[in-house]
């Protein structure tokens, strides 16, 4: 097996970077891999471009946070190579790896590669951009943008939560009248934030899309209506525990395609795609079933 390992050297801790090197050495030593070639990114887009250019490898390993993982998955799809992907989480929140229970220790990761169980998983498509986790708009986006890359790397999840505590009381008074069109239905909602997710974990909230599965051909839509300030923290406690789906201020449903637009013509609400500010509304979003072949553990439950 010939493996290409794409590493974001500034994601996560030095410990994870060392684990990646140990994994590379062990795979070759144990005869699982003929060779492991390492590519280190230097700037945004490097992981995407490298993954898109691969042709002589049997597997690509993405080492980094959700942004790096998304670039690799997106690049593999665009390459048309159908190369299976393995993910070693090394970033701030790692929603994708967490939601799938992917291993992050040397021995467990090498066992996963050795057993070579590969499953097809879904990807989302927003306009012409693929995503692994989520498309978001509203307060979540503002929190993500307010955290610098340096703070993310130094403080991890805590950086998001501290920033959120400072930002949400200000942003809760903001809302946008949006139109959601799906499966022949249409609704207008005065929206505080919305999430359209492929996985159960978003922004470190591990159960924010409690019914999401990466192989069901569906996206989970969570819309939080405009709410009063006193409601924000009780609701976020529900969000943290996955108990929000029946809340009066939450709309939650599943669909395989969705159009989101602003009621007021000319409004350009920014979109967050897997943690990156990319594009604005209106947006057409759909689920692409079985778009990626992913290495998973032997005991992982896929229906």
Per-domain boundaries in the chain:
2-116, 131-290
User: What rounded mean pLDDT belongs to the chain?
Assistant: 87
Report the predicted TM-score, pTM, of the whole model to 2 decimal places.
Answer: 0.87
pLDDT given at position 250: 96
pLDDT given at position 90: 86
Q: Name the helix (H) or strand (E) containing 110.
A: helix 106-115
* Number of residues assigned to the chain: 303
Question: What is the average per-residue pLDDT within 140-145?
Answer: 54
Nearest Cα neighbor of 292 from 93, 72, 129 is 72
What does the block give as tokens for 276? 């990156």
Q: How confident is the model at residue 222 (pLDDT cuts 50, 70, 90)?
A: very high
From 60-64, 83-87, 180-184, 200-204, the region with the lowest mean pLDDT: 200-204
Question: What is the average per-residue pLDDT within 42-65?
Answer: 94
Q: How confident is the model at residue 163 (pLDDT cuts 50, 70, 90)?
A: low
pLDDT at 266 over 50: yes
Architecture of domain 2-116: 3-Layer(aba) Sandwich (3.40)
| Helices and strands in the chain: count of H runs, count of E runs | 9, 15
Task: Confirm whether 2-116 and 131-290 share one CATH topology.
Answer: no
pLDDT at 133 over 50: yes
Q: How confident is the model at residue 155 (pLDDT cuts 50, 70, 90)?
A: very low
pLDDT at 284 over 90: yes
Those residues whose C-beta lies under 8 Å from the C-beta of residue 302, and which sit 6 or more positions away, are: 119, 215, 296
From 60-64, 129-133, 261-265, the region with the lowest mean pLDDT: 261-265
pLDDT at 165 over 80: no
Write the CA distances from 271 to 122, 195, 276, 280, 283, integer angstroms. Answer: 20, 10, 8, 5, 9
- CATH class of segment(s) 131-290: mainly beta
């Amino acid at each position: 097996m010939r493996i290409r390992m794409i590493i974001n050297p500034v994601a996560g801790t030095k410990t994870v970077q060392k684990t990646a090197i140990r994994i590379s050495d062990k795979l070759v030593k144990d005869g699982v891999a003929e060779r492991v070639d390492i590519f280190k990114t230097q700037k945004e887009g490097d992981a995407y471009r490298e993954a898109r250019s691969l042709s002589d490898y049997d597997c690509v390993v993405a080492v980094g946070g959700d942004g790096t993982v998304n670039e690799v998955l997106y690049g593999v799809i665009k390459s048309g190579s159908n190369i299976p992907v393995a993910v070693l989480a090394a970033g701030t929140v790692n929603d994708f790896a967490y939601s799938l229970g992917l291993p992050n220790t040397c021995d467990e990761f090498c066992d996963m590669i050795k057993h070579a169980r590969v499953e097809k998983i879904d990807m989302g498509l927003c306009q012409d951009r693929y995503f692994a986790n989520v498309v978001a708009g509203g307060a979540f986006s503002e929190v993500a943008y307010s955290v610098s890359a340096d703070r993310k790397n130094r403080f991890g999840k805590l950086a998001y939560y501290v920033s959120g505590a400072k930002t949400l009381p200000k942003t809760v008074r903001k809302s946008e009248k949006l139109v959601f069109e799906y499966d022949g239905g249409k609704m207008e909602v005065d929206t505080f934030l919305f999430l359209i997710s492929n996985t159960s974990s978003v922004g470190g909230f591990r159960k924010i899309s409690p019914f999401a599965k990466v192989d069901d051909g569906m996206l989970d839509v969570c819309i939080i209506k405009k709410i009063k300030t006193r409601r924000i923290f009780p609701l976020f406690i529900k969000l943290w525990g996955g108990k929000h789906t029946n809340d009066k201020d939450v709309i939650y449903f599943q669909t395989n395609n969705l159009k989101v637009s602003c009621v007021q013509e000319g409004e350009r609400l920014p979109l967050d795609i897997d943690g990156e500010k990319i594009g604005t509304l209106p947006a057409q979003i759909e689920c692409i079933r079985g778009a990626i072949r992913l290495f998973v553990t032997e005991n992982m439950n896929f229906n």
